[in-house]
């Protein structure tokens, strides 16, 4: 019985530490961008739970871009139009497998680069983003 209580206390402490780290990250992001995120955006960035309000202009693309940039997996390759199109969300079609409008892809590329630069300048850890094709030399 005592071991179960110890394990429960340990889990509570770990959860509290994780929550504090998430809160610090969100504050760091908000300072870098110069505005406060909506509560649903914070939830999405930390957990991946997507619950935006209906309608437009609620920060869906901003939240999506932040989650893309904070993912520490492979680098984002955004030097070809087709690559940007593959990453761009499609707010006009509700993500129903419709092509993303070309004007939106151009805007999305500009927006993700801008947010990327702001986060990097503030020291927020983001994944590598490659916007120009680089020649890889192997020996």
Per-domain residue ranges of the chain: 2-130
- 3-19: average pLDDT: 68
Q: Which two tokens stand for residue 51?
A: 């619950």
pLDDT, position 134 = 59
Q: Which two tokens stand for residue 124?
A: 């927020």
First to last CA, the chain: 60
pLDDT, position 117 = 92
pLDDT, position 114 = 93
With b for 16 or more beta-carbon neighbours within 10 A and e for fewer, the 14-52 pattern comes to eeeeeeeeeeebbeebeebbeeebeebbbbbbbeeeeee
- 79-84: average pLDDT: 82
How confident is residue 138, by pLDDT bands cut at 50, 70 and 90? very low
CA distance 12 to 9: 5
pLDDT in tens, 31-81: 999 999 999 999 889 888 877 777 777 788 899 999 989 987 888 878 888
Q: How do beta strands 129-130 and 76-77 pair?
A: parallel
How confident is residue 130, by pLDDT bands cut at 50, 70 and 90? confident
Instruction: Answer whether 30's CB lies under 8 Å from 9's CB.
Output: no
């Amino acid at each position: 019985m005592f071991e179960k209580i110890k394990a429960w206390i340990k889990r509570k402490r770990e959860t509290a530490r994780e929550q504090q780290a998430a809160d610090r990250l969100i504050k760091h992001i908000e300072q870098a961008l110069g505005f406060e995120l909506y509560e649903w955006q914070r939830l999405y960035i930390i957990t991946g739970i997507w619950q935006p309000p209906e309608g437009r202009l609620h920060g869906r693309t901003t939240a999506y871009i932040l989650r893309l940039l904070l993912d520490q997996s492979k680098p984002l390759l955004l030097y070809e139009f087709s690559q940007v199109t593959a990453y761009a969300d499609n707010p006009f079609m509700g993500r129903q497998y419709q092509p993303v409008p070309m004007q939106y892809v151009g805007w999305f590329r500009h927006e993700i680069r801008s947010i990327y630069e702001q986060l990097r300048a503030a020291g927020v850890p983001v994944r590598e983003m490659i916007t120009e094709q680089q020649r890889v030399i192997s020996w």
